[in-house]
Amino acid sequence: MNGKIASTRGNLIRMSRSLLLAQKGHDLLEQKRQILMMELVRHIEEAKAVQKDMAQVFSSAYKALERANISLGIDTVEEVAHAIPEEARFIIRLRSVMGVEVPEVDELEGKLEPSYSFFGTSGALDEAYLAFRQVLHLLSRLAEAETSIYRLAFQIRKTHRRVNALEKVAIPFYRSAIAAMESALEEGEREDFVRMKIAKEKFAKKGRRG
């Protein structure tokens, strides 16, 4: 953008079109940034709420686990824990927000199938199991929110750089170039007018002499 551009009508038209496109692009990118910012704030608030819920649920879950350890013994609780299969039924969908794909994790199925025998266990263990199941659900929501926050923040930074490039470099360049071209063209027109006027006067004098 630092090269000298000839002051012609054609270049002026092209620069004016480029300025218009840059301004439209700036407005669209600014709208995109605002929408992404609102989405980011929503996910940040959601993450804060989930973290608060997790702190409460974790506290209840560990208290229930302590009671189960006391009533059944740590070894028995560990054996039961190993018998519970890992959760592999997470369903992750992607939703597009202004071109940014953010994840949405489906809620875990509410129906629980017994993973251990009720014989030799206690209600405290059942309570701990249900509490940690809730922790698992909250962890999936937190992972969804934090991943969305990261992706949205990354895209917002990219969009912000593009907005700044248009606002502080491209648009000022086009405006300056257009103003210089218009000034040069107006000066050229004034010079042409003066030359034509002088030529007419000379032609008129010459005609009178003849």
The pLDDT tens digits of the residues spanning 71-95 come to 888 888 787 777 777 777 778 889 9
Region 106-129 average pLDDT: 69
Region 15-19 average pLDDT: 93
Share of the chain above pLDDT 90, in %: 37
Q: What are the tokens at 159?
A: 């969009």
pLDDT of res. 111: 57
Q: What are the tokens at 148?
A: 């969305």
Higher pLDDT, 96 or 125: 96
The vertex-27 CA angle with 21 and 32, nearest 5°, equals 125
Torsions phi, psi for 46 (to 5 deg):
-65, -45
Secondary structure of 158-189 in the HEC alphabet?
A: HHHHHHHHHHHHHHHHHHHHHHHHHHHHHHHH
CATH class of the domain comprising 9-205: mainly alpha
Highest mean pLDDT among 6-10, 111-115, 137-141, 188-192: 137-141
Q: Is the pLDDT of residue 194 over 60?
A: yes
Q: What are the tokens at 101?
A: 């794909």
* Structural domain spans, the chain: 9-205
Question: Assign residue 94 a region: left if phi > 0, alpha if psi is -120 to 50, beta otherwise?
Answer: beta
pLDDT of res. 156: 96
Average pLDDT, the chain: 83
